Amino acid sequence: MTYADVFRRLNAAEIEYVIPRKYDHLPQRTVDENGDVDVIFEESQYERGVDVCKAAGFGNTKTRSRQLSKLGRQAIRKPVTAARLAATDQQALVAIVKRTDTSNRRHRNLKLDRGTQRLDLRDNLAYKSPMNDKRIPVHPSVTERMLSEREEKDCFYAPEPCDELAHIVPHCVFDKKGNFPPYYRDRCRLLFETVQSDDEQYTVFRDHLEKIFFEADDVVLELIREERYGDIAAELLKYHEY
């Protein structure tokens, strides 16, 4: 089974969504074996989008199993702590079992499984804070632009190059602790070549960088131009915003 059916259901329901990255082999498969497929919904359509995905057979069974497995590993390492949790705080134990939604008040995020397939559903672009790992949404216009200018690819929607590049960079800087794996290095190189050859795309990309990286935007741009992706996180430490 491919992901085509769930994308077609979303399209038929006229739900506005975009696959922000790693869509190269969709709808047949993900870039990474058994990897997540990120789906960004227009904020007001998020709950409808979740319902459509669930109607297509996606649920949270595996997520719960992973969390119970984690609790089991904890019980082996710290049996007294685990026993105390089970005996004295059953509400906390139930919360662990049920927790598949990693949302906060500014960002909604839910992971659903269907066999080996996995969807990571979100209502905006958000990245982990260097301070506490809580996801912080970017300026709303960045998400809005990715959705409004999305491009149709087979049976799903993907971002324009400037929007995809402006997402991949902070994803690696913040979510991956500054690490750009080979796939993302190659992707950034290809996307930047496309973006800088188109005046409109380049202008939008510069605007995105300013809204994401604030006064460090010029430094980030130069490091991207020089393909020094691994240096971006270290350079950001020089700025008080980070």
In tens, the pLDDT along 132-180 reads 889 999 999 999 999 999 999 999 999 999 999 999 999 999 999 999 9
Q: Does residue 55 lie within any of the structural domains? A: no
Number of domains in the chain: 2
Q: Does residue 9 lie within any of the structural domains? A: no
Domain that holds residue 66: 61-98
Q: Does residue 4 lie within any of the structural domains? A: no
Give tens-digit pLDDT for 15-45.
Answer: 999 999 999 999 999 999 889 999 999 999 9
Q: Does residue 83 lie within any of the structural domains? A: yes
Q: Does residue 6 lie within any of the structural domains? A: no
**CB-neighbour burial class of residue 121 (10 A; exposed 0-12, middle 13-18, buried 19+):** buried
Q: Does residue 229 lie within any of the structural domains? A: yes
Give tens-digit pLDDT for 61-80.
Answer: 544 445 544 555 454 455 55
Identify whether residues 94 and 166 lie together within a single domain: no
Q: Does residue 45 lie within any of the structural domains? A: no
The pLDDT value recorded for residue 132 is 87
Residues 185, 210 contacting (CB under 8 angstroms): no
Mean pLDDT of 208-212: 98
Place of tokens 């240096």: 231
Q: Does residue 208 lie within any of the structural domains? A: yes
Asked if residue 99 has pLDDT above 70, the reply is: no
